Chains A and B, each alone.
Chain A
Amino acid sequence: MDYFLQQVINGLSLGSLYALIAVGYTVVYGIVQLINFAHGEIFMIGAFGSYATWMIMGQPTDWSPAMSVLVMLPAMLIGGIVASVTVALLTERFAYRPLRNAPRLAPLITAIGVSVFLQEFVRLFYGAIPGFPDAKRAIPYPAVQGISGVNVPLGGVTIQMSSVFTLAALGVCTVLLWYFVNRSKTGRAMVATSQDPDTARLMGINVDKVIMVAFAVGAALAAVAGVAHGLRYGNIDFRMGFLAGLKAFTAAVLGGIGNISGAVVGGLVLGVTEALATSFIPGQFGSSAWKDVWAFVLLILVLVFRPQGLLGAKVVDRA
């Protein structure tokens, strides 16, 4: 039973990582019906941005846990958010916006191009900043005292502090996002635009601005996920956005793409499924080498049996 609980908790913390990224896919898709393929790279940029912030702060390694958690971590989060939001807005402005009325294939191909470009850009030029490590190989992520490597025993299970951070981050972000979408003027404008862009425009909503906000919100959450990823795995890599992005997209589809709470639920379900699949599928196919396969099999199963996703957003039928 403890083993089962432990796996569920591992799954939940992994799933919150997916959920944080998935929100970005879902928000953007809900408004412009674009699969922002480069969103995984925005997540990666967030991680590298937070690392850059840490470098600029003078690579503090020996701060007290209180200082680390209350000063260093927020600074890194903000640095990461600034980096990913900037990049996301730039891609929106220069890559996607000119294609807004183009056929569906064009922005998707652009998104692939953006994704490859951003990966390569980080790989080639991150190390060119004076004093920065070469990004061609994985970079060890700075340890935050009080979080990295700290385990909390809780009954029969052990929880890593980094997992607590990820779960907490998801919780805080979800509450803030809920508040933003349902209570703020801009958030309501977003909802209106996703329901009917033309009418929203007629009602005086600046659709361009709403789209930018959607990209920015998604990017900010992805940056938080980037920091969480760094703390969880202890290193960051220019390739990390590819698989994470793919998983997060799976989570978004699982929950019902276009539906924000769906993305959160989908992420958690996907994380738990992965964790349970690797521990409870008997035989060779239960080894961790297969965990990504099970995640994608889940995606395909969802598309067969419930294409509108678990929480059932509107049925998407656009060629």
Chain B
Amino acid sequence: MRSVIPAGVKARFRLPARLVGMFGAALMIASIFLSWSYGHDVLDDVGYYGAPSPLQLFFGLLALITLGLLAIPLVGKERLGQWAHVLAWNTTAKTAAIWSLAMAAVMVAAIAIGLGGLVNVDPGGWLAMIGGVITLVATLFLPDSPEPTLYLVKSPQWLQILAIVALMAVVLFGAAYVLGFDDAGGFLTFITFIVGVAMILQKFGVFGWVGIAAANNNRVLVLSAFAVAFAFPFTQDGSDANMSIASQVLIFAGTALGLNIVVGLVGLLDLGYIAFLGAGAFTAAILSGSAFSTVDWTPPFWLTVLISGTVASVLGLVIGAPTLRVSGDYLAIVTLAFGEIFRITMNNLDGNDGPNLTNGSNGIPGIPDLVIGGFDFGEAHVILGVDIGRFANYYWLMLVVVAIIIAVFMNLNYSRIGRGWVAIREDELAAEAMGVNTFALKLLAFAGGAFLAGIVGSVKAHYDVSVTPDQYVFLESAFLLAAVVLGGMGTVTGVLIGATILKLLPEKLRFFSEYRLLLFGLLMVIMMRFRPEGIIADKRRKLEFHDDDELAEEVEQDLKTHHRHLNPEPKGWDL
């Protein structure tokens, strides 16, 4: 971000600016001991003097971080030594001020909307806003920090592992806490807090270091991530509402990860991907032994899973074989048309317009819960004193499925096949010239992606209890694509984040459900315009979207410094 204040002014006023900023931050901290709202029915009650509520405490924490970022550099450049330039103190202080103010603003807005007017905001709320504005203005006068180079600092492995584990623990409790909010105001406030902290860590250089640590301890990262995901139901104390959301997120994420192979790795735009999920779900429903299923054969579930995946991938072959030859844009429309064909066909196979296979628009209801090896997924169990209900059971099953999909994805990504895919994505002609069998690889991606969606579909059928054609409309395909694009094409973490955002936000923010699709459309356009590589950017992908040499050099530099442990002090900068 370019700043409007000249560097000379910044250098001269940096000390007063720092002191004024600290004063503002202190005001914000003081504000949490005052009442923020006249009424008590909003933000879990922020209307007491001398007794901060949890949300106020989180705000205080953000303000305290701001204060610390401003105060610590006071000890001087010399005494901080390398930490003075390894961490981006000033820039981060500005970020912290922005997010503190944002959080205060969200809370004040929530009070005003929740209780009807700004009249209901008590002195505490106003003090927080004033403190935030003072801090923000003051930090604008601080000199810019050099780019943080914390990732170059050598650190012992135990520290890296500890950091990863701690991060995962924070993710677990943060997720549990987020889901605990019933009111939109509190939810949004806490989300602002989380995003603020994340932005601060990012600017400060911590994420850069964590990234290196994670790359060095990949196995620890993956294992702890799954441990956290596995432990999640225990934090919910038997609450079905949140586990149902969590399972839906996993189903959605699993499907999006499958699509990620097709779109993110190979660059084939599939707009009918939901049809493969639907094919899997219908197959599983028909073979489920429901009273409404049209086939009398009920194979064991592992076989159903395989059949569902196979049916989906055969459809993938049927649709892919003709269209993958005429590469490019046609595929998008043909898959879109295929998605429609699938939905119409499922609607028509009702015994009236065609043979009866799916009961038409009524679909197949009454699908029994899964029983695998005597374990009934429909029944609640008590494990370690915590009620584990039906949704938690399916959550764990989906976790296994998602783990398998991620494993497939990662292994393919770094294999010969994966490299061929990426080559096709970047330049199909060049790939072909280099001896990549483009048609076969594209077909493999298409059918493989369909197989994975079919597997997820077979679980989804049992989870949803009923399968109807109108669950598999084009809009769902668009949402899947949005999850992939929003999170970051070709990345696992990005797609998981994208899927979580797209499923979680509408659940928690019911009040905007009417405008959900409008915002969704706008978001896609804005994303493509300003950050086409998504939230988590795949490096290669980033290069592809931003066609400039500077970035190319930066990435190259990045790759080089990866193996270098030098930390040179930048020239000509002020703290």
Which residues of A are at the interface with B, using a C-beta cutoff of 8 A?
A: 33, 35, 37, 95, 98-99, 101-110, 112-121, 124, 242-243, 246, 249-250, 253, 284-285, 287, 289-290, 292-293, 296-297, 299-300, 303-304, 307, 316-319
Contact = CB atoms under 8 A, between A and B. Distances in A.
Interface string B329-366: 11011101110110011011000111100000000000
A250 B337 contact: yes
B514 interface: yes
A244 to B, nearest CB: 12
Contact of B545 (A103, A124, A242): A103
Nearest to A107: B528
B327 A319 contact: yes
B300 interface: no
A215 to B, nearest CB: 16
Given A109-B481, A120-B517, A293-B345, A246 B336 contact: yes
B344 A289 contact: yes
B569 to A, nearest CB: 38
Interface string B421-441: 000100111000000000000
Contact of B322 (A105, A120, A287, A303): A303
Interface residues of B, number: 55
B42 to A, nearest CB: 27
Give chain A's interface secondary structure class: helix
Contacts of A246: 333, 336-337, 340
B82 interface: no
Q: Among A102, A113, A243, A300, which residue has the most Cβ atoms of chain B within 10 A?
A: A113
Contacts of A121: 518
A124 B518 contact: yes
A107 B527 CA distance: 11
Contacts of A105: 263, 267, 269
A108 B329 CA distance: 8
B506 interface: no
A110 B518 contact: no
B480 to A, nearest CB: 12
B50 interface: no
Contact of B334 (A33, A114, A303, A316): A303
Contacts of A292: 340-341, 344
Contacts of A113: 520-525, 527-528
A124 B515 contact: yes
B279 to A, nearest CB: 15
Interface string B497-533: 0000000000000000011011011111101110010
B329 A35 contact: yes
B244 to A, nearest CB: 26
B481 A112 contact: yes
B454 to A, nearest CB: 21
B544 interface: yes
B528 A117 contact: no
Nearest to A35: B329
A112 B524 contact: yes
B529 A110 contact: yes
B328 interface: yes
B55 interface: no
A265 B474 CA distance: 28
Contacts of B353: 284-285, 287, 289-290
Given A107-B528, A109-B485, A112-B524, A253 B333 contact: yes
18 contacts: A104-B329, A108-B332, A109-B269, A116-B524, A121-B518, A253-B330, A284-B352, A287-B353, A292-B340, A299-B337, A300-B322, A300-B338, A303-B322, A317-B327, A317-B328, A318-B329, A319-B424, A319-B429
Contacts of B341: 292-293, 296-297
Given A99-B529, A246-B336, A300-B323, A116 B478 contact: yes
Contacts of B518: 116-117, 120-121, 124
Contacts of A33: 329
A98 B322 contact: no
Q: Among A250, A253, A293, A319, which residue has the most Cβ atoms of chain B within 10 A?
A: A319
Nearest to A307: B326
A116 B332 CA distance: 16
B521 A304 contact: no
Contacts of B524: 109-110, 112-113, 116
A77 to B, nearest CB: 28
B154 interface: no
A77 B528 CA distance: 34
Given A109-B485, A112-B478, A120-B517, A303 B525 contact: no
A275 to B, nearest CB: 17
Contacts of B544: 103
Contacts of B336: 246
Contacts of B12: none
B271 interface: yes
A319 B269 CA distance: 10
Given A35-B329, A246-B336, A292-B340, 16 more contacts: A95-B525, A101-B547, A102-B532, A105-B267, A108-B269, A110-B529, A116-B478, A117-B522, A253-B330, A290-B344, A290-B354, A296-B341, A303-B322, A307-B330, A316-B328, A318-B327
B562 interface: no
A92 B340 CA distance: 27
A26 to B, nearest CB: 13
A106 B337 contact: no
Contacts of B528: 99, 102, 106-107, 109-110, 113
